[in-house]
Every structure is written in C-alpha cells, then in structure tokens.
C-alpha cells in the first residue's frame, strides 16, 4: 500500500494539450472538456447542492428565527447570544472536547502500536489485520449494546473478570474507582472514561490501517542507514518512523477528530448523555432544542456555532492533502515555505501544550487517570524496547529475536483479546437461554446452546421488517452513490475544465461535513415535502455522507489508471464516453467494489438520520429498531445479542469477501488520491 503521507487533493488529470487553433473561444475560457464535464458532474452537483449546501444555507437563515406557536419570528443573533449563558451548551461543548481529545490520544498510541506489531509480521498479517478491523466494521448499535452488556454492574462480565483477577479491588486502592463493583456507565466519575474507552475500541482499527499503509511506504534504506550509524531501535523510531508517519498521523487525527467531536449515536446509545449530563455532547443539545422542543432556530444556532471549528480543521486538512512543492515556486514563496516549515515543526508542541492545559482544566478527575493508563502503556513498550536493544548491543541476536517475537505475540494476543472479547460475548449470549442470561450461569460457553433468543426476537419485534427496510435503503443509496460518484470521479480525474480544483475541494468539504450540521435543516425540508416517516426520507438524505466519500475515493482511483490506455482507445476511434465505459470502468472495478462496500456499510450502520426522521415501527431501520427495544430500565440482553449477531453477520461477510478489493481501492483512492 502506498503511504497516506503522499495523499493530496486530487486534481484533474491533464490530457495531452491540443493545438491552440483546435480550441474554440469557449473551450479556451472554460476548458477543452467543459461540455462533457458538465454532463458528468451535474448529478453530483445537484445532489450535493440540494442536500448539503442548500440545507446549510437554510440552517443559517433558520438560526436567526424563533418559533412562537405556529408563527416564525425573525430574532437576528438572539439565538447565538443566548448560548453565552446556556449551561447545557457549555457542558456539551466541554464534553465533546474532552471526549474527542482523550479518544484521539489513545487511538493514536494503540493504533501505532498495532500497526508496528503487524508491520513486523511476515506471516498471517492479512488475517490479523482482518480481525483487528472487525470493530470498525460492526454497526455502532452493536458496539454500544455489546459494551453496555459487558459494563453492566450486575450482569456484565467486566466486573466479574476484574473481581476474579483481583484487579477490581486494586483499582479502588489506586483511587481509579470509588467503589466496587463499579457502575461504569451510571457513575458520574466513570461514565465519560467508559464512553471514551468504547470509542477507542471502535476507532483503533481505522488508525491501524492508515498507519500500516504509512509504514509500508517508508523506504527500508533509511532504517538500514540508521542501523549502520549505530542507532538503537528507539532512535530509529524517533528519527525515521515518526517523521515518516508525520503526515499520515496529522491527516488521520484531523479526520477522526471531526467525526468524534460531532459524534451522537455512540454516546446516545450508551448513556443518552447521562448520568445527568456528564457525557452529553453538544449535538445532543441541538437535538433536544430542535426535535424535542421544536425550536429549530435555537438548535440550528448550536450546530452552526461549531462551524468555524470544523471549518478550521477542514482548512488544515485541505492544506495537508494539497500537493505542495516548492521546486517551481518563486524565491519569495520558497522562503515563505521554509519559514512555514519551521512553524509546522513547532506547531505540534504548541498544540500538545494547549490541549494538555485544556484537558487539565476541563476534566481534572479524568486527566490523571488517563495519564496513569497511558504511562503504563508507554512504560511497558519502553521496557520491551530497552530489553531488545540491550540484547542486540551485546550480540545476542538470537536471544533478542526470541524476546522480540515473544513480546510481539503477547502484545498481539492482548490486543486481539481487547478487540474480539466484546464480540465473543455478544455471540455466546445470543445462544443462551433467558435463565442463563439472568442467573449468570455458563457465561463463556452456553450449556446448552439454544435458539430461544432468536425465536423471541422475531416473535416480540417486527425485526424482519426492520431488516428488509435496512436492505432496501442501503441498496438504493449505494446505487445512487456508485452512479453519481463514478461520473463525477472520472470528470475530476480525467477531464480538463475550469473549476476542477474548486469542485474537488467542495467534495472534500462535504465529505467531512458531519451529519450534526445537516439533520435539522434536512428534517425541516422533509417535513415540508411530507417525506418523514417513510423510507424515502432515508434514501433521499443518505447521499449526504455516502456520495462525497465515494467521489473522493474514485477520483484518486481513476487518477491511478494509466492515461495511455484511454488515449489508445481514443486513437482507435472511441468517443470519450465509450472509452470511459469500455476501458476505464472495467479497470476501476476494485475501486468501485470498495466504494460499494463502504457506502453499503455506512448506510447499513447509520443512526442519526434514521433516529430523527423515522418514528413509526414499520419504517425503522435496524439500528433505530434495536434502540427502541429498550424500555426504560428493561434491557432484553439476550434478544439484543441475537439481533446484534444478525445485524453484524452480513457486514462482516462482505468485508471478508471484499477485503482484497477494499485494500486495493483504498490504496489507489484515498491514499494515492
């Protein structure tokens, strides 16, 4: 796989220039291929414009209004000024920041560790990578319910395991928890760390895949030269690995931070913002104001006030992905770039100091606990590295190899236990009888195995209908994304026309635009069109997050296909459209399959839009339907485990069968692109 370090915003591939005399005045002004580009880009432009840009503009207008009964009154900036004294908003912003900062720190550390471990493996790397990818693949609703079950203070296995090993009382002695057994999601001191833990569990695979791609692209010559110069393993890591991964780390953290900061579904499914409001993100405040209280203006103001932060992160991301070469730039520009390089080297330290100070101020009760856990992880890694380095120095190459291999397998075993443990718990719980679930007998291996939970699931819930709804919506949104993204991706990668770069940046902008900014104006639009409580509301709105990503991926993939193949088809008499259909599309099959896999999975797992737009049982999708199975404090753990298993199996099978196409598509698309 190529390095994410080389990623950039794809630009239109310039075909061999035609003679000046062969171009009309319009072509010279708009570009040689502007007609075909307009044809190919129109579906994408219409959908993105109507589903992203127009709703954001409408949200800005809505944020200046207030609802009084049936009337809407213009209030100017009053909704924004009201946020200054809004305690719920302040708490939500702080919670979102704390949640994001801690989650990103641990995802970077664990993702880098996992990538380094996998990078050293010569055999079984693909299998291990596939296993580590499972948490990222399974739906968020499955993640939430599996961890809710595990962290349950009475029925969960976490407290039981920690008690049996003596770790639980030790946590009390270290003042990491106040009492035992711990109420992980109900204790105000433990709820936020628990939610962060679940987000880290789900997000580590994404970081691992990205970092592994970056490690593969670092030239081995650099490591060999450092070894000849006498550099230790830690010196090679500090002076070769980290600089080589600097770009991919920055890009990955930026993307993940945008998604994590605007997370709603995981927090809602785990705690619904409780206990009290200690885990409530700012998005929950927007949902409460706009959907529950029908104050669309106040809710829109909550989401839009975060737009400058998201815009700043997007600006950083665009600058990172844009090809930046100073070789052909004027001398003044090159001098400015050299100054910028020095600033960029100092910037991480400044950001680290600022974030550390803010975390210490915003969450002192979590800060030192996280510092202890992170310190233990780093100390273990440092100790293993020191032992291996010492053995190498003393000439014990064989002993060093044995220790390194043993330590690697132990670390991988611990990582796999952390990754697959919750999923194993769900799988075995689905086959327990209700008595085994309630009485906590045969926790790790049902005796006997029974289909009781599956029978009860279909008897008590319209689960089959939810399943069919999810299939229909996912298939329809995937088909729309494939067609529109293939046309737009080809136009941006191959055709020559004015505005290609700006259109590509717009695609990237809409790709990272969170659903939290869109659900309020989209909900208003659907009410106006009388499409709420119908599957059409989801089919219409799902392209907001499936289409931009699909387009961005395919732009990079089309750019990786040798242009000479297409030129040969044109020489043989094919039109541009015929060359696209007969040459480019067949070669882009891995990219198309990767796009289909991603869009289908995203639509299958989507929660926020389905939760807001659908209220009737007959139109619910699987994530929302499963959430509705919980009635107050009554949690049918066995039935939820059975439902989680049935929801996850199709996605896991698709990823298992399409892993090769997924890797190839990501490599040529999101990485090279």
Q: What is the pLDDT of residues 443-453, one digit of tens each?
A: 778 888 999 99
pLDDT by residue (tens digit) across 578-597?
A: 888 888 888 888 888 888 88
Spatial CB neighbours of 568, under 8 Å, sequence gap ≥ 6: none
Angle at which helices 54-62 and 519-529 cross, to 10°: 100
Backbone angles phi, psi at 66, to 5 degrees: -145, 140
C-alpha 437, offset from chain centre: 33
Instruction: Give the rounded percent of residues in the chain with a pLDDT score beyond 90.
Output: 22
pLDDT score, position 222: 85
Asked if pLDDT for residue 97 goes beyond 80, the answer is yes
pLDDT average, residue stretch 4-27 = 50
575-595 exposure pattern, b = at least 16 Cβ within 10 A, e = fewer: ebeebbeebbeeebebbbbbb
pLDDT average, residue stretch 488-503 = 85
Angle at which helices 659-666 and 589-605 cross, to 10°: 110
Backbone angles phi, psi at 65, to 5 degrees: -125, 165
pLDDT average, residue stretch 318-324 = 56
Q: How many residues does the chain have?
A: 673
pLDDT score, position 13: 44
Asked if pLDDT for residue 466 goes beyond 90, the answer is yes
**Closest listed residue to residue 511, CA positions, set 621, 610, 602, 623:** 602
Poorest-pLDDT segment among 60-64, 69-73, 243-247, 329-333: 329-333
Asked if pLDDT for residue 336 goes beyond 50, the answer is no
pLDDT by residue (tens digit) across 163-176?
A: 888 888 888 777 77
pTM of the model: 0.83
At residue 175, the 3 state secondary structure works out as coil
Backbone angles phi, psi at 73, to 5 degrees: -115, 135
Question: Could you please report the per-residue DSSP string of 190-241?
Answer: THHHHHHHHHHHHHHHHHHHHHHHHHHHS-HHHHHHHHHTT--HHHHIIIII
pLDDT score, position 328: 43
pLDDT score, position 69: 72
Contact between 637 and 149 (Cβ < 8 Å) = yes
pLDDT score, position 15: 46
**Closest listed residue to residue 37, CA positions, set 447, 504, 392:** 504
Confidence of residue 213 (pLDDT cuts 50, 70, 90): confident
Asked if pLDDT for residue 476 goes beyond 90, the answer is yes
Please give the structure tokens belonging to residue 432.
Answer: 């327990």
pLDDT average, residue stretch 512-526 = 85
pLDDT score, position 367: 78
Contact between 469 and 617 (Cβ < 8 Å) = no
pLDDT score, position 406: 67
pLDDT score, position 42: 92
Which helix (H) or strand (E) is 99 found in, with range? helix 87-120
Looking at the chain, the number of H-run helices and the number of E-run strands are 36, 2
pLDDT score, position 60: 92
Asked if pLDDT for residue 339 goes beyond 60, the answer is no
Specify the higher pLDDT residue, 411 or 95: 95
Please give the structure tokens belonging to residue 295.
Answer: 């104050």
pLDDT score, position 391: 52
Asked if pLDDT for residue 465 goes beyond 90, the answer is yes
pLDDT average, residue stretch 531-554 = 88
Helices (H), 495-572: 500-512, 519-529, 535-541, 543-560, 563-571
Confidence of residue 5 (pLDDT cuts 50, 70, 90): very low
Contact between 544 and 660 (Cβ < 8 Å) = no
**Closest listed residue to residue 182, CA positions, set 196, 193, 172:** 172
Q: What is the mean pLDDT of the chain?
A: 80
pLDDT score, position 61: 93
Asked if pLDDT for residue 455 goes beyond 90, the answer is yes
Specify the higher pLDDT residue, 451 or 505: 451
Under DSSP, the state recorded for 15 is: P
Give Dmax (Cα) for the chain: 85
Specify the higher pLDDT residue, 407 or 5: 407
pLDDT score, position 62: 92
pLDDT score, position 3: 40
Confidence of residue 205 (pLDDT cuts 50, 70, 90): confident
How far is the C-alpha of 315 from the C-alpha of 310, rounded, in Å? 9
pLDDT score, position 326: 40
**Closest listed residue to residue 264, CA positions, set 27, 523, 519:** 519
pLDDT by residue (tens digit) across 125-174?
A: 777 777 787 888 888 888 998 898 888 887 778 888 888 888 888 887 77
Under DSSP, the state recorded for 574 is: -
Specify the higher pLDDT residue, 650 or 194: 194
pLDDT average, residue stretch 420-437 = 88
CA–CA distances in Å: residue 149 to residues 93, 141, 157, 255, 412: 28, 12, 8, 30, 25
At residue 17, the 3 state secondary structure works out as coil
Under DSSP, the state recorded for 83 is: G
C-alpha 207, offset from chain centre: 9
pLDDT score, position 14: 42
Confidence of residue 496 (pLDDT cuts 50, 70, 90): confident
Confidence of residue 274 (pLDDT cuts 50, 70, 90): confident
């Amino acid at each position: 796989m190529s390095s994410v370090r080389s990623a950039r915003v794809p630009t239109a591939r310039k075909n061999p220039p035609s003679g000046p005399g062969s171009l009309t005045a319009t072509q010279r002004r708009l570009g040689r291929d502007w007609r075909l580009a307009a044809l190919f880009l129109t579906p994408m432009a219409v959908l993105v414009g109507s589903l992203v840009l127009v709703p954001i503009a409408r949200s800005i207008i809505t944020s200046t209004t207030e609802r009084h009964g049936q009337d809407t009154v213009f209030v100017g900036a009053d909704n924004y000024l009201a946020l200054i004294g809004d305690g719920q908003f302040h708490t939500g912003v702080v919670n979102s920041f704390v949640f994001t900062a801690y989650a990103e720190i641990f995802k970077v550390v664990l993702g880098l560790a996992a990538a380094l471990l996998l990078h050293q493996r010569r055999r079984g790397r693909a299998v291990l990578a596939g296993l580590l990818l499972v948490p990222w693949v399974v739906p968020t609703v499955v993640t939430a319910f599996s961890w809710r079950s595990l962290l349950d203070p009475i029925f969960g296995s976490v407290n039981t395991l920690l008690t049996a090993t003596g770790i639980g009382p030790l946590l009390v002695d270290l003042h990491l928890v106040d009492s035992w057994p711990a109420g992980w999601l109900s204790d105000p001191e433990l709820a936020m760390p628990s939610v962060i833990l679940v987000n880290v569990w789900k997000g580590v695979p994404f970081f691992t895949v990205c970092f592994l791609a970056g490690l593969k692209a670092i030239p081995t010559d650099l490591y060999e030269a450092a070894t000849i110069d006498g550099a230790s393993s830690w010196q090679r890591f500090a002076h070769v690995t980290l600089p080589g991964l600097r770009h991919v780390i920055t890009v990955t953290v930026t993307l993940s931070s945008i998604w994590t900061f605007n997370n709603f579904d995981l927090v809602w499914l785990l705690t619904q913002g409780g206990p009290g409001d200690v885990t409530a993100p700012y998005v929950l405040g927007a949902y409460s104001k706009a959907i529950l209280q029908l104050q669309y203006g106040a809710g829109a103001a909550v989401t839009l006030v975060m737009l400058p932060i998201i815009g700043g992160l997007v600006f950083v991301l665009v600058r990172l992905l844009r090809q930046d070469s100073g070789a052909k730039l004027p001398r003044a520009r090159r001098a400015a770039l050299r100054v910028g390089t020095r600033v960029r080297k100092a910037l991480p330290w400044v950001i680290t100091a600022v974030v550390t100070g803010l975390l210490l101020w915003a969450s002192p009760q979590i800060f030192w606990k996280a510092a202890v856990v992170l310190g233990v992880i780093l100390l273990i890694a440092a100790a293993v590295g020191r032992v291996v380095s010492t053995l190498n120095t003393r000439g014990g190459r064989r002993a060093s190899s044995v220790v390194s291999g043993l330590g690697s397998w132990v670390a991988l075993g611990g990582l796999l236990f952390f990754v697959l443990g919750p999923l194993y718990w769900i799988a075995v719980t689905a086959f327990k009888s209700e008595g085994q679930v309630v009485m906590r007998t045969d926790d790790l291996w049902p005796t006997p195995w029974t289909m009781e939970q599956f029978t009860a699931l279909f008897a008590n819930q319209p689960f089959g209908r939810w399943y069919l709804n999810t299939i229909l919506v996912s298939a329809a949104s995937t088909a729309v994304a494939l067609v529109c993204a293939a046309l737009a991706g080809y136009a941006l990668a191959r055709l020559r026309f004015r505005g290609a770069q700006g259109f590509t940046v717009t695609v990237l902008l809409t790709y990272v635009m969170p659903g939290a900014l869109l659900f309020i104006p989209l909900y208003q639009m659907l009410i106006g069109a009388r499409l709420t409580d119908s599957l059409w509301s989801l089919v219409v709105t799902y392209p907001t997050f499936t289409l931009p990503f699909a387009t961005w991926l395919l732009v990079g993939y089309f750019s990786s296909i040798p242009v000479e193949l297409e030129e040969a088809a044109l020489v043989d008499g094919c039109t541009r459209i015929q060359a696209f259909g007969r040459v480019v599309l067949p070669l882009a099959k891995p990219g198309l399959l990767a796009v289909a896999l991603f869009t289908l999975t995203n639509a299958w797992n989507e929660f926020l839009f389905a939760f807001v737009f659908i209220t009737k049982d007959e139109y619910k999708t699987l994530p929302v339907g499963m959430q509705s199975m919980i009635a107050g404090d009554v949690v049918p753990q066995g039935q939820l485990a059975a439902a989680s298993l049935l929801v996850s199996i199709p996605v896991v099978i698709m990823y298992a069968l399409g892993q090769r196409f997924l890797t190839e598509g990501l490599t040529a698309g999101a990485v090279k692109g």
